[in-house]
Amino acid sequence: MKYLAVARFLLIAGFAGVFVVVSNLWLPMIDGKMILYRGIGFFSFAAVCLGCFLDSRVLLRCKEAFRGLFSDTLFLSLFASTIFLIGSTIFAYDRELAYFGEAQRAEGFLTLAFLFVIYALFRVVFDRSSWQRAFSMLSATAIILCVVQLVQLAQGADRPSASVGNPVFLSAYYLSSLLASYMLVRMARVAREGIWVWLGYGGIATGLLGLFMTKTRGSILGVCIAGIFIMLGVVLGGKKYGIRLRTRKILGGVLLAGVAFGAIFVGTRNANVWQGVPIISRFATISLSSGSAYSRIQYAKIGIHGWLSDPSPQRILFGYGWDNYIYVWMKHYDPTIYFADQNIADRSHNRIVDTLVMSGVLGLVAYCMIWGAFFYQAKERMRQDFFVGLVFAGWGIAYVIQNLFSFDAIPTYYSLFAVLAAVSFDRFLYEK
């Protein structure tokens, strides 16, 4: 099935898109990185369609896969989100912006529709070996990105962002690479492929190091809470799945120590001792009345106020249109924010608020359904392998938490949709 092989190659190569650095636009509203991702979606889809037309085996495989997709809650939730996005684009305040996206973000309906196609292709054409190669690519990119960060750090960068250009987006990318690296270790150990095990361990180590070098509080908080969730899951549910008592006791001790440290830190965060500790000092200086935390809260308030200010059915149901938050921000801007943040905001830095403002109630419901379906699929994976399902659930918790303080962007979307597709695959550790 050479046509499927071509589609798999393109989809796996897409993970290297994080290294593409774009300094200007090629066409209005389109840059080189967006051309890459749209091209991957188009040519992969074209290869699958051509295969269905010329090879009966490809046609049979795709028919079986698509029948399964339309009974899958996660696929249906993403499909519903895409359909609602059409309505959001039609009723958008600025339809052209909602369709093409603005130049900096390069999102809009067109891009999100391509990403949905890419997600569907991941579901249809990938098998166990394809996922192992994809996880290997994500692990390798994490290692390279971390090395670039170390070079930038040596050159004096405070929050190195490698080729991504924004430490917040890089931290979100590392969340996906950490999951991929763990899955690579598990898959390679089952297949007794030592070199891939070490690549996975390298991806985990550099992913954590790179994540902490970004100093992104939302992502670091997400990883810490996800770690607590995973350890708690092992301590409380590990006996049922054969986890040794000694292991559960050790993790229980680590968990208690972590909770105790967190309590001490919260109670003494204003003490001078924390001010000189890297990363921790950023958490110690959080203030709801000043700085970035204050401005993020105000951005969210502006978005919610703007959405509530227009009671028309199209605004309530479909919002202002994707990438149209900036119009809400300009119309309902609170001048007092200027003293804390002089930037112009095209996002509220809260994915829940962004989705409500730009996609309305229907878009927000679909977004919540996506994550509900994701956690349900993670629970299903636990039935086959406790740790695999637990780690997927932990990744979901970390990603949702970091998105409460940030938003998705082109550097993170591709790996996000890959993980959303991966959680539904049920043959990671064996091939049926």
Q: How far is CA 151 from CA 12, 161, 167, in A?
A: 27, 11, 15
What does the alpha-carbon distance between residue 109 and residue 103 come to, in Å, rounded to a whole number?
14
Q: Is the pLDDT of residue 432 over 60?
A: no
Lowest mean pLDDT among 80-84, 210-214, 247-251, 398-402: 247-251
Region 230-258: mean pLDDT is 88
Q: SS in 3 state form for 22-33?
A: CCCEEECCEEHH
Residue with tokens 């303080």: 405
Looking at every residue in the chain, the average pLDDT score rounds to 89
- pLDDT category at 429 given cuts 50, 70, 90 is low
Exposed e or buried b for every residue in 345-354, given b needs 16+ CB within 10 A?
A: bbbbbbbbbb
What's the pLDDT score for residue 290? 63
What's the pLDDT score for residue 168? 92
Residues 319, 109: contact at Cβ < 8 Å? no
Q: Is the pLDDT of residue 43 over 60?
A: yes
- pLDDT category at 354 given cuts 50, 70, 90 is very high
Q: Is 392 helix (H, G, I), strand (E, B) or coil?
A: helix
What's the pLDDT score for residue 340? 74
With a CB cutoff of 8 Å and minimum separation 6, the contacts of 240 are: 386
* Phi, psi for residue 408 in degrees, rounded to 5: -80, 155
What does the alpha-carbon distance between residue 155 and residue 164 come to, in Å, rounded to a whole number?
17
What does the alpha-carbon distance between residue 188 and residue 323 come to, in Å, rounded to a whole number?
41
With a CB cutoff of 8 Å and minimum separation 6, the contacts of 350 are: 296, 299, 300, 303, 403, 404, 405, 407
What does the alpha-carbon distance between residue 45 and residue 84 come to, in Å, rounded to a whole number?
22
Residues 41, 117: contact at Cβ < 8 Å? yes
The Cβ of residue 245 has, within 10 Å, a number of other Cβ atoms equal to 9
Q: Is 92 helix (H, G, I), strand (E, B) or coil?
A: coil
Per-residue pLDDT of 259-295, as tens digits, reads 899 889 888 888 888 887 888 888 887 777 666 778 8
Maximum mean pLDDT: which of 97-111, 177-191, 195-209: 195-209
Q: Which residues pair with 30 in a beta bridge?
A: 27
What does the alpha-carbon distance between residue 358 and residue 366 come to, in Å, rounded to a whole number?
13
Residue with tokens 């996000």: 416
What does the alpha-carbon distance between residue 415 and residue 176 come to, in Å, rounded to a whole number?
6
Region 23-40: mean pLDDT is 69
With a CB cutoff of 8 Å and minimum separation 6, the contacts of 122 are: 11, 417, 418, 421, 422
Residue of 131, 221, 134 whose CA lies nearest to 171: 221
Per-residue pLDDT of 54-111, as tens digits, reads 988 889 988 888 888 888 999 999 999 999 999 999 999 999 999 988 877 778 899 8
Q: Which residues pair with 31 in a beta bridge?
A: 25
Residues 13, 418: contact at Cβ < 8 Å? no
- Enter the pTM of the model: 0.93
Residues 409, 221: contact at Cβ < 8 Å? no
Q: Is the pLDDT of residue 130 over 80?
A: yes
- pLDDT category at 241 given cuts 50, 70, 90 is confident
Q: Is the pLDDT of residue 322 over 80?
A: yes
What's the pLDDT score for residue 114? 92
DSSP for 106-174 reads --HHHHHHHHHHHHHHHHHH--HHHHHHHHHHHHHHHHHHHHHHHHHHHTT-SS--TTTS-HHHHHHHH
Class of residue 336 by CB neighbours under 10 A (exposed 0-12, middle 13-18, buried 19+): exposed
Q: Is the pLDDT of residue 431 over 60?
A: no
Q: What percentage of the chain reaches a pLDDT higher than 70?
A: 95
